[in-house]
Amino acid sequence: MVAVPLLLTQMSLRGHAAVRATYRQTVTSLARATEVAGYTRPGHALRVSELATAVGRELGLAARQLVLLEYAALMHDIGQLSLVDPVPRGATEPLPPERQQAIAALGGEVVRRTGAPAEVALIVERQAHPYREQPLAGRIVRAVNAYEDLMGEAAALDHRLAAVERLRLATAHAYDPRVVAALTRVLARHPTRAWLDARGDGKEVR
């Protein structure tokens, strides 16, 4: 009798895990739609998602918030599918704020139709607003996406350093300083993403 509630709980958790895995596959497929259609670079959504999640952990986000962040990061560019004229290379960072916000608003509307939690749609929708008007997850997505856009296809150290420096210079209005600092620390610990030390001065990390 004592074991019955435990077994039921275990079955419920397994069922929940299966649903979550299926939904993540759906979200990943939606994220890839922008790549298949030629709106964004191959692998962009996944790279943003992985790095954004790492930054979220660095900032101490709870498990559920990390899941919401992962979903939002995967679908952050979904609004571009509504554009008649694609953004060159899918890079929204150089666009005027008004156009960034319009694309983000389109993305939020698409996300709502997927049945995703309302928080995910809000993160996607607000990602291009001034950072003080965004939830923390939106600030993370914006900074990581900008880093990816600034990097482009380049992988050289000077490009990585220049991308981080651009973010730092814009912390007064565009990017949350805490998020940029956390991003720098994460990049320092993952040399496959960037060759930076904890101070961001370009020291190679192995």
Q: Which residue has the higher pLDDT, 75 or 93?
A: 75
% of the chain exceeding 90 in pLDDT: 30
Q: Which residue has the higher pLDDT, 21 or 181?
A: 181
pLDDT tens, 54-86? 999 999 999 999 999 999 999 988 888 777 676
Cα torsion angle, 22, 72, 190, 90, sign? positive
Cα torsion angle, 165, 51, 29, 62, sign? negative
Separation CA 29–CA 19 (nearest Å): 15
Q: Which residue has the higher pLDDT, 136 or 200?
A: 136
Query: In degrees rounded to 5, what are phi and psi of residue 59?
Result: -90, 5
Range 74-99 average pLDDT: 78
pLDDT tens, 141-183? 999 999 988 887 666 667 778 888 889 998 888 899 999 999 9
Separation CA 27–CA 140 (nearest Å): 19
Q: Are 128 and 104 in contact (CB under 8 A)?
A: yes
Range 1-9 average pLDDT: 42
Sequence-distant (6+) residues with CB within 8 A of 204 are 157, 191, 195
pLDDT of residue 157: 66
Tokens of 34: 């922008």
Number of Cβ atoms within 10 Å of the Cβ of 8? 10
pLDDT of residue 2: 38
110-143 burial, b at 16+ Cβ within 10 Å, e below that, comes to bbbeeebeebbbbbbbbbbbebeebbbbbbbbbb
Residue 15 has pLDDT above 50, yes or no: no
pTM for the structure as a whole? 0.77
pLDDT of residue 42: 83
Instruction: Please give the C-alpha separations between residue 112 and each of 1, 118, 127, 135, 181, in angstroms, as whole numbers.
Output: 43, 7, 15, 17, 31
Separation CA 69–CA 89 (nearest Å): 23
Separation CA 189–CA 73 (nearest Å): 21
Q: What is the band of 7 on the pLDDT scale with cuts at 50, 70, 90? A: very low
Separation CA 173–CA 25 (nearest Å): 35
Determine the Cα angle at 113 with ends 108 and 114, to 5°: 100
Q: What is the band of 16 on the pLDDT scale with cuts at 50, 70, 90? A: very low
Range 127-136 average pLDDT: 89
Task: Flag the least confident range among 8-22, 71-85, 98-112.
Answer: 8-22
Cα torsion angle, 46, 43, 90, 154, sign? positive
What average pLDDT does the chain have?
A: 78
